[in-house]
């Protein structure tokens, strides 16, 4: 065992002494720099503190000035407001509609917390009425009762009509409300701002909350602060009531003055001319300088001590591994215990071990890469992608038949809201679960993720399909445990396939996925059934749907779709049929909007059936989708039709009153003094329906009513609603309802 003298020889050429000397030299250099820096900062720190206080006051000044300009700009706008212009001629409760409009505008300002407005008053000279957001009152009652202050009697506010200043700020004062029992309730320390227009016989008073303004705009900590106007009047003060400071010209130029034991900083507002003064005791600045000096000295001492200790420790840590490496080389021992995490030393140690481990690492790496290439080869077969790399194809050359199982993943909204992982990570975890389970059951299997939400497993086994089904059934409880987040549908054909028919088998499995039912659990589909291409409305459903949709009858059209969905539920149709119905209804909704020249981008963006179908797992979710889609569509149509058009209004009114007569398009056009072609195009553009179709709809609706509630013969009903030929009536009735008048009456009786 080496002794200390052997490890750390203290000769002048030893590594330890040279490292230590180098570190100490660097410490001395840094110490000299720190001493110079300390001397420099000590002389300049006081000026920096003064400059910081000047910046704080400048920011406070800018905040006050900008806020006063903002209040001036917003309230001056009332002098040009049309409602105020009309209201000023008779400012009384009789003009309640005008007052409500003004009140709403005042409330919009008063409820904005960033304006710090307590109230806004309109004082009308002619009538002596004061109006604010709470109502009307005479000036005497307002300023003697609601806003009572000894500094501001009612006479003061009356005298403001005599001045010519457009914008005036008056000293802040405590205002109180006088109760009926003559007690007073303070409403706050308010800063009055008067805004006038010399061409108007009223002016506006804004009461600003002076204390909240100061709290919002004061940047530095608590200190003495006051504001005075151009005449020297004190507008607002905070802190100890010290003697106000008189500033010489040179003091104003540099922005501060030292009076006694205080520093007073001054800034004049560029817009209002208000002078802002903030006083800070010299003791505050001196204490900050002293504290900073103590902190700098303490940091300097700590830095020196830490640097010396770190130098000694680092010198020893650099020297010790070198000695250990030399000792190991002398002993020819590749097992080196360095007790160091320095990268270079660790690298030297690892080099001794690398040669022994390299062959094993290369073999493992090649195995993993071959596995990745094999998976890539399966995917190229599946997607029928041509590859010039024969070596990749050789990895997947197999004559073994296999069962193909396709897993489709549907992630729910709850997954997106509650779990903190991405769908890609979840899909990978599910793939690994499937791979491990099937490999454990059958040995040779290949599991691939071929799409973002699709996983394919190839099961190479001599076992029967029943054995594979049983293995998949064992997965169902695992998947159903997390069905609130992800629902799986598994499609597996009972016939084995091979690599030549791999793409066809995959396509067939994709089609089998369409047979899934709308149930919120894992489904395993084992039998292939051909699917009907699309859901088709019956003629009666088509007419009822389109008529109600064009009329904007939201309830009727949603009830129809609900009946269709209930019919599909009873027949236990697959999700494929629901998807086709979603496409059919969306297409009809878009056509209805196009017929009115309405923007269909909202429907395409928010109600895409493709996006919805992937996530829909129940009939209720389809009902929700249809209700949102049809509500949006009917609302757009209803809004479009609600815009009153004189021509359309006349036509609809005339037809509803005279549908039983021999009414023609030419007759109505003559009454409007326009051409028949212009009437036809205009009516279709505004309503989305032709003139003749609208007339027939009115007649058919009245015919239905008569068939339900009267015993008139069909020929009599035809004459009463304007049809001279009963055959024409029967033909139009069947076209509109899908049944003849007689069949309609019999169905009513049967009900």
pLDDT of residue 204: 94
Contacts of residue 402, defined as CB under 8 A and 6 or more positions apart, other chains included, come to 458, 459, 460, 461, 496, 497, 498
pLDDT of residue 536: 58
Ranking 75-84, 283-292, 577-586, 722-731 by mean pLDDT, the lowest is 283-292
pLDDT category of residue 68 using cuts at 50, 70 and 90 = very high
pLDDT of residue 164: 83
pLDDT of residue 514: 79
Specify the residue for token string 């409305």. 537
Q: Is the pLDDT of residue 533 over 70?
A: no
Task: Record the tokens describing residue 646, joined without a space.
Answer: 């004189």
Mean pLDDT, the chain, whole residue set: 81
Triad 440, 445, 446: Cα angle to 5°: 130
Q: Is the pLDDT of residue 731 over 60?
A: yes
Contacts of residue 512, defined as CB under 8 A and 6 or more positions apart, other chains included, come to 406, 491, 493, 525, 528
pLDDT category of residue 4 using cuts at 50, 70 and 90 = very low
Q: How far is CA 459 from the centre of its chain?
A: 45
Assigned superfamily of 398-525: Reverse transcriptase/Diguanylate cyclase domain (3.30.70.270)
pLDDT of residue 592: 77
pLDDT of residue 712: 92
pLDDT of residue 191: 93
Mean per-residue pLDDT for 598-605? 74
Range 646-750: architecture per CATH: Orthogonal Bundle (1.10)
- Beta strands at 403-411 and 486-492: parallel, antiparallel or unpaired: antiparallel
Q: What b/e sequence results for 80-100 when a residue is b if at least 16 CB atoms lie within 10 Å of its CB, and e otherwise?
A: eeebbeebbeebeeebeebbe
Cα separation values, 193 from 106, 216, 229, Å: 16, 18, 13
Q: Is the pLDDT of residue 1 over 50?
A: no
Say how far apart CA 340 and CA 115 lie, in whole Å. 63
465-481 vs 423-442: helix axis angle to the nearest 10? 140
pLDDT category of residue 531 using cuts at 50, 70 and 90 = low
SS (H, E, C) 722-743: CCCCHHHHHHHHHHHHCCCHHH
Say how far apart CA 556 and CA 433 lie, in whole Å. 49
pLDDT of residue 323: 65
Is residue 427 classed as helix, strand or coil in its secondary structure? helix
Ranking 328-332, 442-446, 569-573, 741-745 by mean pLDDT, the lowest is 328-332
Say how far apart CA 516 and CA 518 lie, in whole Å. 7
- Beta strands at 256-259 and 167-169: parallel, antiparallel or unpaired: unpaired
pLDDT of residue 2: 46
306 or 323, higher pLDDT: 306
Say how far apart CA 653 and CA 287 lie, in whole Å. 88
If we measure between CA atoms, which residue out of 511, 509, 491 comes closest to residue 501? 509
pLDDT tens-digit profile of 683-712? Answer: 887 777 888 888 888 888 888 889 888 989
Q: Is the pLDDT of residue 720 over 70?
A: yes
Task: Record the tokens describing residue 128, joined without a space.
Answer: 């002596």
If we measure between CA atoms, which residue out of 115, 203, 219 comes closest to residue 159? 203
Say how far apart CA 189 and CA 236 lie, in whole Å. 10
Say how far apart CA 302 and CA 34 lie, in whole Å. 12
**Tally of helices (H runs) and strands (E runs) in the chain:** 28, 17
Q: Is the pLDDT of residue 368 over 60?
A: yes
Ranking 35-49, 55-69, 114-128, 702-716 by mean pLDDT, the lowest is 35-49
User: In percent, how much of the chain has pLDDT > 70?
Assistant: 80
Give the number of other CB atoms < 10 A from CB of residue 540: 14
Say how far apart CA 292 and CA 47 lie, in whole Å. 14
Q: Is the pLDDT of residue 255 over 60?
A: yes
Q: Is the pLDDT of residue 7 over 50?
A: no
Q: Name the region of 463 (left: φ>0; alpha: ψ -120 to 50; beta: rest).
A: beta
Q: Is the pLDDT of residue 176 over 90?
A: yes
Task: Record the tokens describing residue 81, joined without a space.
Answer: 């407001």
Q: Is the pLDDT of residue 152 over 90?
A: yes
Mean per-residue pLDDT for 146-170? 90
Triad 491, 522, 477: Cα angle to 5°: 120
Q: Is the pLDDT of residue 365 over 80?
A: no
């Amino acid at each position: 065992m080496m002794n200390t003298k052997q490890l750390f020889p203290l000769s002048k050429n030893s590594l330890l002494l040279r490292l230590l000397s180098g570190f100490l030299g660097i410490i001395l250099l840094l110490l000299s720099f720190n001493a110079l820096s300390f001397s420099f900062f000590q002389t300049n720190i006081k000026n920096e503190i003064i400059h910081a206080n000047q910046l704080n006051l400048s920011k406070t000044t800018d905040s006050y000035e900008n806020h006063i300009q903002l209040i001036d700009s917003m309230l001056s706008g009332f002098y040009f407001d049309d409602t105020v212009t009309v209201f000023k001629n008779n400012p009384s409760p009789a003009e309640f509609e005008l007052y409500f409009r003004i009140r709403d505008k005042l409330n919009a300002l008063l409820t904005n917390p960033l304006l710090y407005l307590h109230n806004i008053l309109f004082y009308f000279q002619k009538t002596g009425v004061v109006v604010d957001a709470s109502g009307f009152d005479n000036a005497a009652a307002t300023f003697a009762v609601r806003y009572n202050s000894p500094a501001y009697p009612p006479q003061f506010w009356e005298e403001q009509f005599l001045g010519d200043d457009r914008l005036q700020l008056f000293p802040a004062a405590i205002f109180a409300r006088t109760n009926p029992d003559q007690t007073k309730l303070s409403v706050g320390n308010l800063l009055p701002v008067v805004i006038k227009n010399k061409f108007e016989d009223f002016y506006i008073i804004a009461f600003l909350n002076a204390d909240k303004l100061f709290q919002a705009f004061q940047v530095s900590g608590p200190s003495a602060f006051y504001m005075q106007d151009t005449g020297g009047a004190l507008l607002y003060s905070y802190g100890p009531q010290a003697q106000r400071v008189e500033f010489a010209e040179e003091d104003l130029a540099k922005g501060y003055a030292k009076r006694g034991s205080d520093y007073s900083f001054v800034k004049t507002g560029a817009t209002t001319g208000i002078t802002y003064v903030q006083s800070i005791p010299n003791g505050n600045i001196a204490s900050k300088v002293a504290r900073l000096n103590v902190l700098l000295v303490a940091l300097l001492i700590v830095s020196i001590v830490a640097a010396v200790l770190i130098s000694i420790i680092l010198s020893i840590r650099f020297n010790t591994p070198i000695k250990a490496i030399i000792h190991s080389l002398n002993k020819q021992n590749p097992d080196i215990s360095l007790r160091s995490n320095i990268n270079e030393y660790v690298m030297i140690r690892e080099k001794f071990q690398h040669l022994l481990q390299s062959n094993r690492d290369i073999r493992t790496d090649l195995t993993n890469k071959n596995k990745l290439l094999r998976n890539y080869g399966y995917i190229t077969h599946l997607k029928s992608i041509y590859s010039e790399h024969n070596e990749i194809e050789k990895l997947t050359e197999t004559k073994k038949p296999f069962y193909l199982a396709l897993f489709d993943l549907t992630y729910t909204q709850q997954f997106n809201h509650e779990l903190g992982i991405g769908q890609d990570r979840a899909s990978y975890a599910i793939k690994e679960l499937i791979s491990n389970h099937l490999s454990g059951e059958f040995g040779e299997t290949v599991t691939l993720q071929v799409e973002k939400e699709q996983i394919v497993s190839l099961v190479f086994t001599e076992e029967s399909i029943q054995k594979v089904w049983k293995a998949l059934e064992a997965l169902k409880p695992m998947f159903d445990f997390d069905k609130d987040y992800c629902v799986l549908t598994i499609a597996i054909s009972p016939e084995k396939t091979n690599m030549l028919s791999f793409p066809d088998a995959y396509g067939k499995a994709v089609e089998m996925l369409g047979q899934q039912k709308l149930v919120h659990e894992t489904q395993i589909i084992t039998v292939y059934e051909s699917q009907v291409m699309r859901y088709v409305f019956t003629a009666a459903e088509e007419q009822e749907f389109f008529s109600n949709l064009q009329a904007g009858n939201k309830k009727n059209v949603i009830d129809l779709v609900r009946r269709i969905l209930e019919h599909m539920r009873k027949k236990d149709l697959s999700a494929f049929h629901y998807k086709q119905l979603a496409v059919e209804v969306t297409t009809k909704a878009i056509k209805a909007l196009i017929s009115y020249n309405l923007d269909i981008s909202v429907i395409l963006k928010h109600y895409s059936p493709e996006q919805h179908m992937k996530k829909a797992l129940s009939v209720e979710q389809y009902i929700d989708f249809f209700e949102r889609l049809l509500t949006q569509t009917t609302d757009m149509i209803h809004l479009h039709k609600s815009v009153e058009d004189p021509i359309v209004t006349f036509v609809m009114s005339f037809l509803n009153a005279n549908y039983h007569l021999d009414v023609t398009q030419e007759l109505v056009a003559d009454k409007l003094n326009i051409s028949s072609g212009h009437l036809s195009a205009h009516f279709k553009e505004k309503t989305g329906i032709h003139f003749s179709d609208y007339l027939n709809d009115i007649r058919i609706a009245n015919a239905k009513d008569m068939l339900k509630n009267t015993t008139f013969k069909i020929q009599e009903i035809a004459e009463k609603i304007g049809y001279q030929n009963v055959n024409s009536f029967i033909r139009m009735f069947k076209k509109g309802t899908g049944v003849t008048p007689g069949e309609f009456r019999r169905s009513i009786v049967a009900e």
